[in-house]
Amino acid sequence: MQRRAFLLSTSAALALPSATPAAEPLRVRLVTGGHAHDPELYQPFYGDPRFRTTVDPHPNAYRGNLVKAVDVLVQYDMVRTTDEATRKALRTFAEAGKGIVILHHAICSFPDWPWWWQEVSGGLYLNQPFEGIGPSTFHHDETIEVKVAKQHPCTQGVSGFTIYDETYNKMWISPKADVLLRTNHPKSDGPLMWVSPYQASRVVVLQLGHGREANTDPNWQRLVRNAIVFAGSKAS
């Protein structure tokens, strides 16, 4: 399948338009970089009055005082290594109770930072085996039957559906993850969406979302919006 690749190369943040916002919408920062993506990725972030989104590629997205500027980080980047400034900014953000949504290949990020993927995200695409699991594999252009494993604010308005997307297999996923979506696809681990066991903030991981077909799927878009709103409400 041919795909139009789209990769932000500017370090300046891009503001996405929205409908007339409600009072104090969530401030969302969509982090890109490290992996090509289609412009349809931005569709879930348009026109929702519950949040106001800016797009910023790493590493600049992780600079400055994230706690003051952002309510929810949505990660769609792929970061192989982390510097101390990035670690400090993200750890401060997570420990402050801010929301984090990790989409698709961002599950591959920060393999050099065990605190992040073992505690915060609750999952990692493995480039090397870990605890007898992996290395992970991926398969493009798969038809995936998705089932709701648990009723939850993140799955509100979504029932079982079929999506044309990419599968991941042999990932490390925390046994404490609260799995919300599953598939029986033979090239997948099974869990497709989960809430991390991390306690200081709300962290949602959605493995789906590789390309145009997935990004334009109304179920995927609803899941992304639901995850942002849920993550933006600090865990009590």
Residue 22 in this model has a pLDDT that exceeds 70: no
Domain that holds residue 29: 14-231
Mean pLDDT of 17-27: 64
Residue 13 in this model has a pLDDT that exceeds 80: no
Do the domain assignments include residue 8?
Answer: no
Do the domain assignments include residue 189?
Answer: yes
Do the domain assignments include residue 1?
Answer: no
Residue 203 in this model has a pLDDT that exceeds 60: yes
Chain position carrying tokens 């300046």? 12
* Identity of residue 53: T
Tokens of 33: 């970089």
Mean pLDDT of 220-234: 95
pLDDT of residue 9: 32
Q: Are 194 and 101 in contact (CB under 8 A)?
A: no
The more confident residue out of 196 and 19 is: 196
pLDDT of residue 5: 34
pLDDT of residue 16: 55
pLDDT of residue 100: 98
pLDDT band at 59 (very low <50, low <70, confident <90, very high): confident
What is the three-class DSSP state of 11? Answer: coil
Do the domain assignments include residue 118?
Answer: yes
Do the domain assignments include residue 5?
Answer: no
Identify the sign of the CA torsion 12, 101, 148, 170: positive
Number of structural domains (the chain) is 1
Mean pLDDT of 14-33: 72
Q: Which of 4-18, 131-145, 188-202, 219-233 has the lowest mean pLDDT?
A: 4-18
Mean pLDDT of 39-47: 93
What CATH number does residue 19 fall under?
3.40.50.880
Mean pLDDT of 148-160: 97
Do the domain assignments include residue 138?
Answer: yes
CB-side neighbour CA atoms (13 Å) of 189: 26
**Dist. CA 184–CA 22, nearest whole Å:** 40
Q: Which of 15-19, 86-90, 168-172, 215-219 has the lowest mean pLDDT?
A: 15-19
Mean pLDDT of 32-47: 92
Do the domain assignments include residue 109?
Answer: yes
How much is the mean pLDDT over the chain? 90
